[in-house]
Structure 1
Amino acid sequence: MKDFNDLLSVWQEQPKLVKLSVEDVLKQVKKGVNKLKNKTLLGLVAVGASLTLIVLVALFMPIHHTLTYVGLGVWIISFAIVIVMQMGDYKTISTLDATMDPAAYISHLKLYKKRRALMNGRFYYYYALAVSIGLMLYSNEFTSHNSTVFMVDFYTGWLVYLAFVLFYLKKKLIERENNRIAELLNKLEKLQGQFEE
């Protein structure tokens, strides 16, 4: 009888599975998806505004060096690629609808996560390299008549800023975004698993 009581106490000590409230989870997921959608849209608008400014500079600013045009061209191409990628991300996240089939909803959210991982992964380094090359070529217009000390300071400052963005800030921002998406997926998968039991 003592073994039975021990076994009974072990079973009673097992944590109870908490049933998730569908309404609460859907509210949290909708809020999280809206944050992701707004962040993606804000990035799209920012890169679009930058691209517009660069095109206006290329068209209306008096430029004396060919390298300046090459630098502006590198910027225009890299920003255009980012805009196309972010438009795809925005389309993916904005097509999420709470009335979708739960499996399709989760699948769409996973597709968004995969697209963002591509954007934030190796492509980000190519993009940062292209923007840096574009800046170096473009800045030739302004730094060519300055002292060597100024040029060294300018390029050193840019490299320090680039290193900060690539190796510190990028990690923090991507980690926060990945955690947000993983949390949403986790909640949805738990909710889906609750209905499959």
Structure 2
Amino acid sequence: MQAFDQIQELWQKHEVEVKVSADEMLQQVKKEVNGLKLKSALNILGMLASFIIIAALWIFFHFESWTTHVGISITIIAIGVYTLILYRDYRLISKTDFTVHPKEYLSNLKTYQLNRYKLYNSLYWFYVVALSLGLIFYFVEVLAHLSVTLRFTAIALTFLWMLFCSTILRKAVIKREKERISLLIEKFERISGQISE
């Protein structure tokens, strides 16, 4: 048993250094950067689609209560601001060619990481509060036409959906994105290290 422990200890101390060529790592980084850009672009397109759908709802349906107009206005403003923030971050990672200017791109990627942290923490709660206020004002008129059961169901489902998005889904997205961006930064630092050697 002692021999096994010694072998296990020796095995744990043994480190194998994996050498990956700069070209292979560059191909991996290029794939991950394109994936990050695509995900960011899809987020922007989703927000723009939401903006357009809500604006069309506002334009093509006649609402009698001023609260509905206030609710839709708040919602559209929140979505618009959040979309602009997403677009700013997208430009940050897409404006520089990482193969030509790796150090500048690495700096932009670190800024992007900080911006995403702010987006998922303080700015996210601004967005949730604004959407909640918008929905509350919107529901004043819309829910007045429904039965008590349907009112309660609509409010409960909306509350549960926002709770799910604010807790479980948000934490999963933050964790996955943090790991992905940190890994990308680490790869860029390794590539920069190999190029400077």
TM superposition score category, shorter chain reference:
0.7 to 0.9
**CA positional deviation for 1:147:** 3.2
Pairwise mapping of residues 85-124 of structure 1 onto structure 2 (< 5 A)? 85-124=85-124
Corresponding residue number in structure 2 for 1:134: 134
Q: Secondary structure at the match of 2:145?
A: coil
> Structure 2: which 5+ runs fail to align?
1-9
Residue 176, structure 1, aligned to residue 148, structure 2: no
Q: Secondary structure at the match of 2:99?
A: coil
Query: Which residue identity is paired with 2:153?
Result: D
Corresponding residue number in structure 2 for 1:37: 37
Pairwise mapping of residues 151-166 of structure 1 onto structure 2 (< 5 A)? 151-166=151-166
**CA positional deviation for 1:98:** 3.0
Structure number, greater radius of gyration: 1
Q: Secondary structure at the match of 2:55?
A: helix
Corresponding residue number in structure 2 for 1:75: 75
Query: Which residue identity is paired with 1:40?
Result: S
Please report the RMSD computed on the Cα atoms of aligned residues, expressed in angstroms.
Answer: 1.9
Give the paired residue count.
Answer: 186
**CA positional deviation for 1:111:** 1.3
Q: Secondary structure at the match of 2:18?
A: coil
In 1, Cα distance between equivalents of 2:121 and 2:33: 21
In 2, Cα distance between equivalents of 1:53 and 1:101: 39
Query: Which residue identity is paired with 1:89?
Result: D
In 1, Cα distance between equivalents of 2:196 and 2:41: 35
Q: Secondary structure at the match of 2:19?
A: coil
1:6-47 deviation per Cα after TM superposition (whole angstroms, max 9, x unaligned):
xxxx9xx76354333111111111111111111111111111
In 2, Cα distance between equivalents of 1:105 and 1:17: 27
Corresponding residue number in structure 1 for 2:150: 150
1:34-87 deviation per Cα after TM superposition (whole angstroms, max 9, x unaligned):
111111111111111111111122122110111000000001110110111011
In 2, Cα distance between equivalents of 1:107 and 1:20: 23
In 1, Cα distance between equivalents of 2:139 and 2:181: 38
Corresponding residue number in structure 1 for 2:59: 59
In 2, Cα distance between equivalents of 1:175 and 1:111: 17
Deviates further, 142-151 or 172-181:
142-151
Identity, in percent, stands at 32
Corresponding residue number in structure 1 for 2:50: 50
